Amino acid sequence: MNATVRRVGVVGGGQMGAGIAEVCARAGLDTIVCEADATAARAARDRVAASLDRAVQRGRLEPDAARDALAHLAFTGDLEDLADRQLVVEAVIENADAKTEVFTALDKIVEDPAAVLATNTSSFPVMRLGMATNRADRVVGLHFFNPVPVLPLVEIVTSLHTASETVAAVEGFATGSLGKTVIRSQDRAGFVVNALLVPYLLAAVRMAESGFATAADIDAGMELGCAHPMGPLKLADLIGLDTVASIAESLYDEFREPLYAPPPLLQRMVQAGLLGRKTGRGFHPYGQD
């Protein structure tokens, strides 16, 4: 990867992908978001535009800066449009097979052999994704946190094949271009943050499941008793209960410790489509913005 990244691709325009694209565009980078089709691409553009509008309304961004960010964004339903990218960040659904398929395709499409292919996975092995390509040394984990435009942290996750030059280049991009703070992790399920966070969230789910306390009281206890900005069940709703369950399954598959096992209530809520904020109902109800 060149010392200065100017052309970025993001695969996936959902909550995380849209946020990653937004911070790249706000940094003045030529950013292309690729979605499954043209309809999904338009929805991704609307998602980014709405986020920029909220930032302006809350005084976090000047109107001219919001317009400039949109001017740096393009949206497509064709992965081939990412051929000239210097860095591509995969941010599709938290499903190992889906992510592997994306990396296999990107390896054939992205023309520059020095380009970096990064994954925003919350839990899956970077090694598996790297081995789906012929450039495992250029594959790295670049894990952002939601909401991406607000939270300053990025985890950089290296596989056994990731080259030191790749790590240095991606860290320079995250800190220099995006202004993020970087922590590094080895390629273990959950990395640093989720390996610590998810057992806490699952403990809160088990507490609600057992009837020990209500969701409202569990969240109030941690917000008012421990000064957490958001209670664990509200946070799980924000992350998406399907994503929480997927991370838990990945952690349990790797470590086989009971604290990582997704509780039955969480699994049933995912099966019912009660995924949190993005569906309007999880452990708490949410009005549609």
CATH T-level topology, domain 195-279: N-(1-d-carboxylethyl)-l-norvaline Dehydrogenase; domain 2 (1.10.1040)
In angstroms, what CA-CA distances link 123 with 135, 167, 176, 202?
Answer: 21, 18, 25, 15
Task: Kindly report the average pLDDT of the chain as a whole number.
Answer: 95
Q: What's the CA gap between 269 and 247, in Å, rounded?
A: 15
User: Do residues 281 and 287 make contact, with C-beta atoms less than 8 angstroms apart?
Assistant: no
Q: What integer pLDDT is reported at residue 245 of this predicted model?
A: 96
Catalytically annotated residue among 35, 94, 120, 143 = 143
Region 168-190: mean pLDDT is 96
- Residue 122: what pLDDT? 87
Helices (H), 150-280: 164-172, 193-210, 215-225, 232-239, 241-255, 264-271
Per-residue pLDDT tens digits for 48-96: 999 999 999 999 999 999 999 999 999 999 999 999 999 999 999 989 9
The per-residue pLDDT for range 134-156, each reduced to its tens digit, is 999 999 999 999 899 999 999 99
Q: In this predicted structure, what is the pLDDT of residue 288?
A: 58
* Residue 122 is a catalytic residue: yes
Active-site annotation holder among 123, 155, 159, 161: 155
Provide the residue type at 262 as one letter. Answer: P
Q: Which of 22, 72, 94, 122 is flagged as catalytic?
A: 122
Domain boundaries, the chain: 7-186, 195-279
Q: 246-276, pLDDT tens digit by residue?
A: 999 999 999 999 999 999 999 999 999 999 9
Nearest-angstrom CA–CA distance, 65 and 245: 37
pTM for this predicted structure: 0.89
pLDDT at residue number 287: 82
Rounded to 5 degrees, φ, ψ at 265 are: -60, -45
Q: Which fold has domain 7-186?
A: Rossmann fold (3.40.50)
Which of 123, 177, 194, 250 is catalytic? The answer is 194
185 is catalytic: no
88-137: per-residue pLDDT in tens?
Answer: 999 999 899 999 999 999 999 999 999 999 999 988 999 999 999 999 99
155 is catalytic: yes
